[in-house]
Amino acid sequence: MGIDSLVGGTIWDEYSQKVTDLMNNPQNMGEITEEQAKEMGAQLIVADFGAESCGDAVRLYWAVDPDTDKILSSKFKSFGCGTAIASSDTMAELCKDKKVDEAVKITNIDVELAMRDTPDVPSVPPQKMHCSVMAYDVIKKAAALYKGVDMESFEEEVIICECARVTLDTLKEVIRLNDLTTVEQITDYTKAGGFCKSCIKPGGHEEKDIYLVDLLDDYEKEKLASKASLGNDTSSDINFEDMTIVQRIKAVDAVIDKHIRQMLIRDGGDMEILDIKENGEHIDIYIRYLGACSGCESSSTGTLYAIDNTLQEKLSKKIRVLPI
C-alpha cells in the first residue's frame, strides 16, 4: 500500500487540523542560547525527557526571570514523530508568560485540548495520546531544574492513567461512590482508559504496576468482604468457598455475633474461632467454648447443633463445627 492510499484513507482523519498544521509548521521549535537568556535578564533552563514507550524525546528551553519566576520565552526541540512535534510546540506555547509554579500545573489534557479543532473531538488518535504526556513530563523536569528539586516532588499522588492524569485515589473513590463494575463505566466517569488504553489491562504499549481491571477486582473483593463482615443473610451473595481465610473468619464471626453469641452470653458463656480448614468435602471450623459454655453438657449437643446449623444455613452447607 502506497503513501497516497494511506493519506486518502482514514488515518489523517483522526488528527485535528491544528495538529496537522503544527506538524508541518511548528511555531516554537528552536533553542534559546545562554547569550539570548542573558539579554533578557533571564536564567536559562534546558530540560530533556524521553518516552520509553515509543523512543521519542523532547528538549525544552526556558528563559526564566529569576526575580518573578516568569517564563519569558519557551522553545523546544523534538526527536520523534509529528504528533510529538505538535504536542511539544503546544506545550511550549502554553508555558509562555506563566510563572514556573503555574506552568507545572499544565497537564497533558491541557495540551491535547489546546490542539483540538472543536471541544468535543480529540485532536489525536488514542495511541498517540502519550505524546502529550511526554510534553507534560518535560515541564516537570524543567521546573525541577529551576527550583533545584526532584521532578517527582511535583507528583503528589499515584497516577494510574497517564493520558488523562487520573490518580489512584480518584479512581478508587469514583468506583466506590458509583458502584462501577466495568472499564467502560470508569472511562465514562473519569476518561481513564479512553486514550492509549495501556492502563486498562496488561499488554498495552506501556507496562503498569496497577491496571483498571485490578481496581475493579479489588472493589469486588471489598464488597464481598463487606457483605461477609456484616453477616449478610443472603447466602447466594456470599461465595464462602471462594473467600480467603481472613474473609471466612470475618464471615463466621459476623454470623455468630448476629445469631448465636447473645444466646451464649445470657447463659454466662461465649465462644471463639480458632481456625478454619478445608478437609475433603468439609470446611471445618474449630471453636473453643468460653465461660460457662466450656463445661456445659449441651455444648456438644444442642448448642453445637444450633451453631452448626446456623453457619450452614447462612454461609455454606459444607461447614462442620468442631469444638476443641
User: By CB neighbour count within 10 A (0-12 exposed, 13-18 middle, 19+ buried), where does 24 fall?
Assistant: exposed
Residues composing the chain? 324
Among candidate residues 135, 121, 132, the one with its CA nearest the CA of residue 164 = 132
245 contact partners, CB below 8 Å, separation of at least 6: 276
The β-bridge relationship of strands 282-291 and 319-323 is parallel
Query: What are the angstrom distances between the C-alpha of 211 and each of 10, 120, 139, 189?
Result: 30, 26, 26, 16
Marked catalytic residue, from 95, 131, 161, 196: 131
Marked catalytic residue, from 54, 163, 196, 293: 54
For residue 131, indicate whether it is catalytic: yes
Among candidate residues 35, 52, 53, the one with its CA nearest the CA of residue 44 = 35
Give 3-state DSSP helix, strand, coil % of the chain, rounded to 5.
50, 20, 35
For residue 54, indicate whether it is catalytic: yes
199 contact partners, CB below 8 Å, separation of at least 6: 160, 161, 162, 163, 192, 193, 208, 211, 212
SS3 of 103, please?
A: helix
Q: Which residues are catalytic?
A: 54, 131
